[in-house]
Amino acid sequence: MRNPKLKTLLAPTLLGLAIFAGTAQAAAPLRPPQGYFAPVDKFKTGDKSEGCDAMPTPYTGPLQFRSKYEGSDKARATLNVQSEKAFRDTTKDITTLERGTAKRVMQFMRDGRPEQLDCTLNWLTAWAKADALMSKDFNHTGKSMRKWALGSMASSYIRLKFSDSHPLAQHQQEAQVIEAWFSKMADQVVSDWDNLPLEKTNNHSYWAAWSVMATSVATNRRDLFDWAVKEYKVGVNQIDADGYLPNELKRQQRALAYHNYALPPLAMIASFAQVNGVDLRQENNGALKRLGDRVLAGVKDPDQFEKKNGKEQDMTDLKEDMKFAWLEPFCTLYTCSPDVIEKKHGMQPFKTFRLGGDLTKVYDPSHEKGNKGS
């Protein structure tokens, strides 16, 4: 700049612009991956809608539930049929809310019927106003239900909040009530699961972190985002050089199933972090990729896990395609081999309420109709 006087006059302005740009960048609102911005497929009218089921009663009691592994040894791997039934019965309203929310959000994103949206928002608003799921009287199974429910609801809600069709534009009041409840519940989930000793940090902590990550984006809270990232790092730093999780290996005959169960929350957190400028793929030398590869190899040859912990593996859970929904975010984070892509296409679409519905529609929409092999 040739004019020194002009340079002196402009300096504060340029500095101000630089500071503003830095602040704007730092304060960029949190967002989900691109697929969550999809508009509603089609707005249909008429009375073909499935209506609104009876709302499950908001659960405001103590979060004291029996474990389905009650009476099992410390491996927590033997199912107790009686206590599982008691658990299902006492948590039925919570699970109905989770499943119903995911199902109707998927229907709304497909059909755009206002009844589906109204029904979902009515349910969530009623539970929010009742301060449901917020009891401080809880056991391990109870705090587990709280974080699972939050993850299910927040990740379904994100589809409404970010859709280019702006379905919440006419529902700002309900949105505020719901988001305030999610926010408060996420604070409680953080309190429930923060700073556990490493020997007690397992798949539950990863699912807690996923629920907090989903809520951070739904409510634009950077503190929650940062906590989820911190917990992710604790999780993937437990993965050893061969892709095993020591605390899941302890689950004896269910070790492989629990390694697989650890993947959905970790892959989703990494995917959400990535789009917000935090690249977690290389944490602990690409540990998430090692874990995914180890599980896929274990599904082909379960003897690997038997050699590792001495127990023949129970493959029941791994026969369900939905249990591999983590492949959707995983194959956008890493380059999946052609045979893994083929396996993924053979199982699609992946729909799981704990991750907010149809993940294929979010991550691989060209295959979401289940047109396998295309």
Continuous H helices in the chain = 4-26, 81-90, 92-111, 114-129, 140-162, 172-193, 203-219, 222-236, 246-249, 255-275, 283-300, 303-309, 327-333, 338-347, 359-363
Closest CA to 300 of 252, 351, 260, 251: 260
From residue 158, how far is each of 68, 149, 163 by CA, in Å? Answer: 31, 14, 8
141 annotated ligand binder: yes
140 annotated ligand binder: yes
CA dihedral (56, 61, 62, 65) in degrees, to 10, reads -30
- 251: which 2 tokens? 């689950």
59 annotated ligand binder: no
The identity of residue 58, as a single letter, is P
- 208: which 2 tokens? 């807690």
Cβ of 355: how many Cβ atoms within 10 Å?
26
Closest CA to 70 of 56, 85, 55, 91: 85
CB 277 within 8 A of CB 229: no
68 annotated ligand binder: yes
367 annotated ligand binder: no
Which run of H or of E encompasses 358? strand 357-358
From the annotation, which residues make up the binding site for substrate? 67-68, 140-141, 258
**What residue numbers does the annotated binding site cover?**
67-68, 140-141, 258
